[in-house]
Amino acid sequence: MNMYQGVNFIELPPHIYAVADNAYRVMCTERNNHFILISGESGSGKTETSKKILQYLAMACPITEKLHTIRDRLLLSNPVLEAFGNAKTLRNDNSSRFGKYMDVQFDYKGAPAGGHILSYLIEKSRVVHQNQGERNFHIFYQLLEGGEDHLIRWLGLERKPENYSYLIQGECAKVSSICDKSNWKLVRKAFTIIEFTEADIEHLFGLVASVLHLGNIKYEEDSHGHAIIRNGAQIQWVSKLLGVPVSILQEALTHKKIEARSEQVLSPLNLELAYYARDALAKSMYGRSFTWLVNKINGSLANKEPPKKTVIGLLDIYGFEVFETNSFEQFCINYCNEKLQQLFIAMTLKAEQEEYETEGIEWEPVQYFDNKIICDLIEEKHKGIIAIMDEECLRPGEATDLSYLAKLEEKVGEHPHFLTRKLAGPETRKAIDWVDFQLIHYAGEVTYCAVGFLEKNNDLLYRNLKEVLVKSKNYILRDCFHASELDNRKRPETVTTQFKNSLTSLMDILMSKEPAYIRCIKPNNDKKPGKFDDMLVRHQVKYLGLMEHLRVRRAGFAYRRKYETFLERYKSLCPETWPNWSGPAREGVERLVKYVGYQPNEYKLGRTKLFIRFPCTLFSTVDAFEMKKHQLVSKIQAKYKGCLGKRDYLKKKKTAIQLQSCWRGVMARRAAKKRAWAAQTIRKFIIGFIDRNKNPNNENINFLHMMHYNYLMKLKDHLPKHVRDKTWLQPPTAMTKTSELLHKLCIRNLVRKYCRSITPQKIEQMRQKVVASELFRGKKEGYEQSINQPFEESRLTDQDISPKVHQLMLYDKMKYGIAVTKYDRNGFKARPRSLVLTQTTLYIVEQVKIKQKIEYTNLKEISVSNLSDGFFVIHVSPEDNKQKGDVVLQCDHIIEALTKLSMLASKQDAVNICKGCIKFNFQNKNAVIDFTTAAEAQVYKAKNGHLTVTSPRLKS
């Protein structure tokens, strides 16, 4: 398939795929409908050829989502139709016992869009009778061999075909070359793909099984010579499967309803008529269910989209048949082949030669046999064999097959292609029986047995049997037999008339399409591969007219098209004809072929058409056109893209201008509205400014809001930074009260913020500062200068005190320590000491010694001058015998040291600030310290024996 896809017709050896590919490619490029006529004898391979073509089309089509579904349904419709419509014959193990024409529909992309099948004249008589060595339709054997156990039980069947009368008449129930079991699986799979429901399958096989049960119904004759059914087992199954009451079905199979004026009478049937009624029912049920099956498949293949489609038709119809005994079915089949041969001749040999003469092309006619004379013999109105057969079927009185044969001898006896025993000469008379007639077909002589012709042509089903089937619960049967048939009193058309009309319709369908032909040659009659019977092959080549056809093709032209069509398709190959040619089409084609480079022997110009002799010339033109098409497509694409780009640009430009215009209008309206609003607002604010000191009203409320807002926004940037910052923004008159409240709130927040930021150490220090303030503010010089100096926790560290001293202090923790100068009792000599304060005791320390220890309980008073000196006297209680008297000390941070001492001793009231002098006791002796001011600080012992301390006056 891959090898032949897209390849020119003559590049590879002839093949089925080459024909299919050529038809498909021409259909896609020229958008016209095609059909492929597959002809040949029975068993020559027509059905297999149609399968191969379908497989190729499925592969060659572009892959779409829909392709898989349509492809599967097209391919799997074949096994179903073959199962129900094909059978083993003497010539062929898979012989088509019906005609099939299938249209495969394609969309504009070349993808399959659907399909439709037409069926022709299924051989219903095979249901009830088969010749020796032949079988019934495949489906019966497939069902018995491969059917599921539950299905077989439900249908009341047995797996042995030998148990069924309709399956054993050819004595060939089993065939080694046919595997019914595997074919059954394929059919079941196909049912699923073709959208058969379980109910459809159940009712369909109910009909198939009913036919088998009908064949096993046996009649017996009663005392009156009437047919009766004694064993009701088979009819019980038929009743169940068809859904009709047993009594009604049994009555219909043993009686015939006769209508006389307004009355209806049931007339008992004899054995012969009863068997006829049974077989007629089986044939009618099977034949109509086959039609229903085809319609069901068509429903699944139907194209659901409305646009017009192109099609490729496949005609796979029964081939020419010649058996030892040829009956009505062979007559219809061979008549069909005559019509197809006539079509072949008309569309090839005859039409082509007539076309050359009409177009004025030099031509030497090729002689051929025209089988129109045989077709006329069979189908001519009022004179043909079919017309005579219908006349015999419809005429009043008792018509028999012999009377029909006599009428044929009378009407067409002189025809050169018709012969009976009576009309035959002495040499051929022995080969023809008294009930036979012989037709000389295009494929040779065929002798037909006229017995049963009239009966099969009538194909009548008793009215009361139709009434039973119309009321069946099997919906397939109800679809096949409509109640309207019972109301129609008109006699139905005969089988041959229906067949002739359907063939005429088929010919019209085929004539409307471009043809392609596949002639199947049967190599031998033994159904063996690799064996060629020369006589058989020559015979087929001769009657198929292949030699004459080859002569016409060889001498003729491979391609012909009207000038207008050819010029319209290939005008792009010549600059003079592209894009449009204004002159006569013939002149345009002449210039085109000369420009392309055709040689004089490669083509001819007719009156209305161009004729190309060699396929290679056409293929080179097609290849050039394909290359040119790509160039043109590129130009068209570029032009179209430019057009789209320009169109898109203009559209955007127009849209942009509209947007700009609308936006400018919006902006202008906004600006005008804003100006009006601004003017109104300004006016309102001017009035508000004038009335700003009045109570809020509609006139001044907005201005007041703005004034409040502006004041608050300014105030936000001018808030006090700390508690002592007394600045505050001057408020408008209307916000005086609000400003006061905000000021209080702000100060309160600053205070809260400040309070939250104070650490415990700072709180303690402030407590000490408060105590210092209570003790010294306004009483002692130097206090103001000490305010900004924070108190130290201690002026000495533990490392500044000797460990021995710590040991002597019994490791009492030092709370405060400072370096001091002590003035002793012997001439007030200055001695450097350390003052150490603990929680309960005061220590005066000299390096590693404790010079004096005073407990706070024995501390009587602390005296300090009001000047800026650093002297203070610690008075001890006289009852403290351990002390030698009061202690005179001097230090740099006197306010800090005395504040710490008074707080630790809890004797703030004991601090006494003296003016002029301080008296103290020293070893039971009274002494005085005089304090004076001078230019510089001095400490000395005066002549009066007092300790004199001078200090400079501080600037306040």
- pLDDT above 90 coverage of the chain, percent: 25
Could you give phi then psi for residue 953, rounded to 5 degrees? -75, 130
The H-or-E segment that residue 247 falls in is helix 246-254
Please give, one letter per residue, the 3-state secondary structure of 112-134: EEEEEEEEECCCHHHHCCCCCCC
**681 occurs within a structural domain:** no
Residues 206 and 316 in one domain: yes
Name the amino acid, one letter, at 630: H
**776 occurs within a structural domain:** no
Mapped onto helix, strand or coil, the DSSP state of residue 894 is: helix
Arithmetic mean of pLDDT, 119-126: 86
**771 occurs within a structural domain:** no
Is the pLDDT confidence value at 78 over 60? Answer: yes
Entry field: residues in the chain: 956
Name the amino acid, one letter, at 185: K
Lowest mean pLDDT among 265-279, 558-572, 653-667, 736-750: 558-572
Mapped onto helix, strand or coil, the DSSP state of residue 746 is: helix
Among 212, 232, 249, 208, which residue's Cα sits nearest to residue 85? 208
Write out the binding residues. 40-47
Bond into 529 cis (ω within 30): no
| Average of per-residue pLDDT values in the chain | 86
Arithmetic mean of pLDDT, 385-400: 83
CB 814 within 8 Å of CB 799? no
Tokens of 943: 């002549």
pLDDT digits over 755-809, tens only? 888 888 888 888 988 999 999 998 988 888 888 888 898 999 988 899 998 888 8
Arithmetic mean of pLDDT, 547-568: 78
Angle between helices 328-345 and 372-379 (to 10 degrees): 140
At residue 422, the pLDDT reads 85
Domain final residue, candidates 299, 327, 355: 327
Q: Is 85 exposed, middle or buried (0-12, 13-18, 19+ CB in 10 A)?
A: buried
Residues 284 and 407 in one domain: no
Is the pLDDT confidence value at 956 over 60? Answer: no
**702 occurs within a structural domain:** no
For residue 255, what is the domain's CATH number? Answer: 3.40.850.10
Residues 210 and 104 in one domain: yes
Could you give phi then psi for residue 239, rounded to 5 degrees? -60, -45
Cβ neighbours of residue 76 closer than 8 Å, sequence gap 6 or more: 186, 189, 190, 193, 194
CB 772 within 8 Å of CB 895? yes
Name the amino acid, one letter, at 773: S
Domain that holds residue 913: 790-951
For residue 888, what is the domain's CATH number? Answer: 2.30.29.30
Is the pLDDT confidence value at 901 over 90? Answer: yes
Residues 86 and 154 in one domain: yes
Distance CA 790, CA 795 (A): 12
Is the pLDDT confidence value at 208 over 90? Answer: yes
Distance CA 775, CA 180 (A): 132
Among 387, 726, 344, which residue's Cα sits nearest to residue 545? 344
**74 occurs within a structural domain:** yes
At residue 871, the pLDDT reads 92
Residue keyed to tokens 């002796």: 925
Mapped onto helix, strand or coil, the DSSP state of residue 311 is: strand
**772 occurs within a structural domain:** no
Distances (CA, A) of 630 to 7, 27, 338, 638: 18, 19, 47, 12
Residues 805 and 946 in one domain: yes
Could you give phi then psi for residue 749, rounded to 5 degrees? -65, -40
CB 86 within 8 Å of CB 50? no
pLDDT bin (cut points 50, 70, 90) of residue 498 is: confident
What does R_g of the chain's alpha carbons equal in angstroms? 66
User: Any idea of the CA torsion for 166, 169, 170, 171, to the nearest 10 degrees?
Assistant: 110
Arithmetic mean of pLDDT, 262-275: 83
**689 occurs within a structural domain:** no
DSSP secondary structure, 117-184, as one string: EEEE---GGGGT---TT---BHHHHHHHHHS-HHHHHHHT--S-GGG-GGGSTTS----TT--HHHHH
- pLDDT: is 515 or 304 the higher one? 515
Tokens of 356: 């050359």
Domain final residue, candidates 308, 327, 346: 327
Domain final residue, candidates 270, 296, 327: 327
Could you give phi then psi for residue 117, rounded to 5 degrees? -120, 135
Residues 16 and 26 in one domain: yes
Residues 97 and 171 in one domain: yes
For residue 418, the tally of other CB atoms under 10 A from its CB is 20
Q: Give the N- to C-terminal CA distance of the chain in Å, as an integer.
A: 124
Distance CA 175, CA 63 (A): 40
- pLDDT above 70 coverage of the chain, percent: 97
For residue 431, what is the domain's CATH number? Answer: 1.20.58.530
At residue 17, the pLDDT reads 92
Is the pLDDT confidence value at 261 over 70? Answer: no
Cβ neighbours of residue 820 closer than 8 Å, sequence gap 6 or more: 832, 833, 834, 835, 844, 889, 890, 891, 897
Is the pLDDT confidence value at 669 over 90? Answer: yes
pLDDT digits over 96-113, tens only? 888 888 888 888 888 888
Residues 54 and 201 in one domain: yes
Distances (CA, A) of 219 to 214, 276, 381, 773, 853: 11, 11, 42, 148, 155
pLDDT digits over 464-486, tens only? 888 888 888 988 888 888 777 67
Lowest mean pLDDT among 353-362, 689-698, 839-848: 353-362
Residues 279 and 361 in one domain: no
pLDDT bin (cut points 50, 70, 90) of residue 350 is: confident
Please tell me which of 43-52, 370-379, 524-533, 669-678 the model is most confident about, judged by mean pLDDT.
669-678
- pLDDT: is 443 or 642 the higher one? 642
**699 occurs within a structural domain:** no
For residue 577, what is the domain's CATH number? Answer: 3.30.70.1590
- The residues pairing with 859 across neighbouring beta strands, listed in sequence order, are 876
Residues 237 and 318 in one domain: yes
Among 897, 871, 875, which residue's Cα sits nearest to residue 886? 875
Is the pLDDT confidence value at 137 over 60? Answer: yes
Please state whether the predicted TM-score (pTM) of the whole model is above 0.75. no
Please give, one letter per residue, the 3-state secondary structure of 569-630: HHHHHCCCCCCCCCCCHHHHHHHHHHHHCCCHHHEEECCCEEEECCHHHHHHHHHHHHHHHH
At residue 92, the pLDDT reads 82
CB 790 within 8 Å of CB 765? yes
Is the pLDDT confidence value at 881 over 70? Answer: no
Specify whether the backbone of 246 is left (phi greater than 0), alpha (psi in -120 to 50) or beta: alpha
At residue 488, the pLDDT reads 67
pLDDT bin (cut points 50, 70, 90) of residue 262 is: low
The residues annotated as belonging to the active site are 42-43, 47, 92, 95-96, 319, 321
Distance CA 418, CA 385 (A): 10
Among 530, 510, 618, 46, which residue's Cα sits nearest to residue 320? 46
Residues 156 and 201 in one domain: yes
- The residues pairing with 419 across neighbouring beta strands, listed in sequence order, are 438
Residues 916 and 810 in one domain: yes
Q: Is 759 exposed, middle or buried (0-12, 13-18, 19+ CB in 10 A)?
A: exposed
Write out the binding residues for ATP. 40-47
Number of domain units in the chain = 4
Tokens of 155: 């249908």
Is the pLDDT confidence value at 540 over 70? Answer: yes
- The residues pairing with 562 across neighbouring beta strands, listed in sequence order, are 609
